[in-house]
Chain A
Amino acid sequence: MRKSSLLALVGAFAVAAALVIGPAASAKPTKVMAGTVVIIHDQEPPTLRGAWEDNNLLATSLVTNNIWYGCEIYNSNAQFVPRLCTSKPKIVKRSPLTIRFTYKASAVWSDGSPVTAKDFRATWKVFINPHNNVVSRTGWEDIRSVKGTGKTVTVVWKKPFADWESYVASGPYQAKAIAGKDMNQTFENSIPVSSGPWKFQSWQKGVQITLVKNTRFHVYRPMKFTRVVFRYILDTNARFQALKAGEGQAIQSQPQLQIADFLKDRKFVVIRKPDIAFEHVDLQFGPQGHPALKKAFVRRALTTGINRQQIADALYRTIAPGLPSLNSLIYKPFEAQYQNFWGRAYPFNQARVINILKANGCTGGPARASASNNDIFSCPGVGKLSFRFFTTTGNQLRALAFEIMQRQLKSVGINLEARFQTGGVLFGTTLPSSDWDLIMFTYGQTPTSKITSKDLYACGGDQNYGLYCNRNATALLNKVPLTLSAAQRTNLLHQAESKYIVKDVPSIPLYSRPAFTIRSASLHGPLVNPTTEGMPWNISDWTS
């Protein structure tokens, strides 16, 4: 080899080596620390500025909820439990709605300064400042004033506001950490203080976020681990393989077929529970929808002709056997207020579907249900019962759910035409255009989303893309956000759903998606938390 070729080779090696070593030039060698728990997650936060318009993500809240610790946090049953506060916040006056809560004396920031009313007030100001690109001002902008200088905070609302607890429970920013800052550029890559069990240490972009124990956290049991690392592995297969290979100890997972492997593996424990997010099929009432969908008997026939329990069984037999179908659009199976409205109103009955359609003058369909049926009903004035069914592409579970529904309905003379689209097109263009007949997707909700059910099911609701409108249901749903009594709210929601929504069928609930936590058998403590608190909500209780 000539000298010049050798030099070229050495040069190539040098470039490669420089690229590898370059980023590490300032790093100091460290040893793997004991007392570290590694959580593998499927998405990396874009920034640490949660609840912003580009960053309303679970991935972010998993990291930041234990930094901006709440007056209360959601436990694994989606119930508020006090943490920074001495007790649950109290209503001291109903008109104007006045809430009072007190931070514990032990509630201090990681820099030693106390958590006070000033911090909560500064947080409120952030969310109502029109310059800040927060994802939603709803609720915050309904607050008239935040008073208090010490540990006790008094919040006065402009009007009765049922969802007040979500706002006063939220973790405040530290006032001095955000003073004078442009919040659209703050907490981009780090958070300097913490009021929770862990504090931010470092972020190796594209790889991991490292959090360390906050030694000044005394409002609850401190973390037993010295360090928590979120490792970001975006590919589903790689994520599960990495867990098997011991590169992490826990995963909070969406339903994936790979979970089946872990159910059989003694080295791992799989915990599952119905989530708040629920799968459903919306029906279109607007002018761009199929005219048949404006007929209540057609909507009822559709619902009766879908075996919802069979869908839940078929989809989750392997990874979550026994998952119940969902029988309420408002409450979830793990909630005490949950009632079986839809199961009672529409038990799966194919003979009944045919009878309903025939009784309303529809013709051309089968005489009885048959798996090989190709005859489709036509109904007077609305034509053939053939509907455009939209959902997202690339989701095996949705494709299977569609296939089952399509077969079940075809056997009773109703046709579904598949229109699968990417999430961006489906949610960005198709859904808001209301140019669809049926559309299947998941609503990711919060425990208090039911208070704003009007957004989904009231006339002109912000997210009522199906254009459903029932004045009676709307009147009840509109009262809910103004009703301070939880029992009265439940009563209103039950009335709206059982008397009107179930009968009108604006949407068909399918199932609450199961949420999963997989942990290595040597790690104890992680539970499924169906809220945005996620798996680390009880990090203080984790041991290995």
Chain B
Amino acid sequence: MLTYIVRRLLYSIVVLVAASFLVFTFVAVSGDPLAALRVTPNVSQDTIQKIVERKHLDDPIAVRYWHWVQDAVTNKFGTTLLGDRRILPDLWRVMKNTLQLVIAAEFIALTIGVGVGVYSALRQYSFFDYSGTTFSFLGLAIPVFWFALMLQVLDVKVFQWTGHRVFPIANLSSVDPGGGIHFAIDRIHHLILPVFVLMIVNMAAYSRFMRASMLEVLNSDFVRTGRAKGLPERKVVMKHAFRNALITIVTLSALNLGGLISGAIITETVFSLDGMGLYFVNSLLSNDPYPVMAWLMITATAIIFFNLVADVLYGVLDPRIRYD
């Protein structure tokens, strides 16, 4: 197992280097961080040229990439291209915010999705199963941005009709969030709508996968054997069937979580949440490759890590799988 993990980690370094170079190249050639300055009154060509020279903007991509690598390694992901602002403090801030959103959404989606999937499988073709299937397809089919927008519109309508604001429309906290438990309650209040949006999509997927997986296991020989041996149905379902059916979900949720660390870009944008997704979008729009690169390194590492976790868990849940 240890050899397998070390081998995977070594592969990961190669993947990270290759990914970082490709992304740096794409960002660097796709726009000019000085674009806004070029149409700003009173900014002379001389000023722009000095910035170009100071920031090596007219050097070949490989040289610029090397400057970034040096800066990132020696200076904790370095600074922004213009303004020399440190990148890491901003990234930590937005990552904490994203984790709050993602962990809450994933936890709820997993709990409900797995529950609905298992129950649907146990009561196949029942009213509950059909309802679950319908809602799952609906959840998968609804575009996230539209759903989020509709919730905001509904929230505003409720406010206009009743004079009471049920949920905040945007942002992570109120004007006066207070501290300690007040802050936590205020934050949870602000996260309800975005978590709900994110949770619906994931829950729909998890419930479908769980149902299919559970049905497959319930119809397998070892479950039939267990029942023939006279094991209580509860034990057959929970101890034998459920554990085996979980393999798919564990893999899926681990991969999903890795991806979500990069930020739920649409959800964070629509609700103006100061998270990884919005940070990425803003960095990309400013054509500054350095924050984009820092973002990429963190998200790529998270994805690689959670992939590894999924593979390891796969072996833990299914004793037939060996990594030697």
CB within 8 Å of B: which residues of A? 12-13, 15-17, 19-33, 36, 38, 46-47, 49, 52-56, 133, 135-139, 184-185, 188, 204-208, 210, 229, 231-235, 237-239, 241-242, 244-247, 422-429, 431-432, 441, 443-446, 449, 452, 455, 462-463
* Least distance between B52 CB and chain A CB atoms (Å): 11
Chain A residues with CB under 8 A of B155? 241, 245
Chain B: interface residue total (CB-CB under 8 A): 70
Given A235-B272, A237-B149, also A449-B41 (CB < 8 A): yes
* Least distance between B281 CB and chain A CB atoms (Å): 9
B100's partner among A19, A25, A428 (CB-CB below 8 A) is A19
Count of A-B contacts judged by CB separation below 8 Å? 227
A246's partner among B100, B159, B270 (CB-CB below 8 A) is B159
**Bound CA–CA A22/B180 (angstroms):** 8
Given A207-B172, A452-B41, also A427-B35 (CB < 8 A): yes
Query: Contact: B180 with A238, CB < 8 Å?
Result: no
Q: In the complex, what residue of chain A is closest to B96 when comparing beta carbons?
A: A19
Q: In the complex, what residue of chain B is closest to A204 when comparing beta carbons?
A: B173
Given A54-B80, A427-B36, A444-B39, also A237-B159 (CB < 8 A): no
* Least distance between B272 CB and chain A CB atoms (Å): 4
**Bound CA–CA A210/B178 (angstroms):** 14
- Extra contacts, 7 of them, besides A27-B180, A242-B171 (Cβ < 8 A), are A21-B183, A136-B42, A205-B274, A206-B274, A233-B171, A422-B30, A431-B38
A17's partner among B32, B37, B96, B184 (CB-CB below 8 A) is B184
Asked if B200 is at the interface (CB within 8 A of a chain A CB), the reply is no
Interface segment, one of B118-126, B134-142, B162-170, B227-235: B162-170
Query: Contact: A12 with B80, CB < 8 Å?
Result: no
Given A22-B96, A24-B183, A207-B173, also A54-B103 (CB < 8 A): no
**Bound CA–CA A92/B271 (angstroms):** 55
Chain A residues with CB under 8 A of B180? 21, 24-25, 27, 29
Interface segment, one of B82-90, B210-218, B295-303, B314-322: B82-90
Q: In the complex, what residue of chain A is closest to B163 when comparing beta carbons?
A: A246
**Bound CA–CA A12/B257 (angstroms):** 13
B32's partner among A133, A188, A427 (CB-CB below 8 A) is A427
Query: Contact: A46 with B42, CB < 8 Å?
Result: no
Query: Contact: A462 with B45, CB < 8 Å?
Result: yes
Cβ-closest 7 pairs across A and B:
A428-B32, A206-B274, A424-B31, A54-B83, A27-B179, A24-B183, A54-B82
B187's partner among A20, A205, A241, A428 (CB-CB below 8 A) is A20
Query: Contact: B33 with A247, CB < 8 Å?
Result: no
**Contact bitstring B279-312, A, C-beta under 8 A = 1, else 0:** 0001001010000000000000000000000000
Q: In the complex, what residue of chain A is closest to B97 when comparing beta carbons?
A: A206
Chain A residues with CB under 8 A of B32? 424-425, 427-429
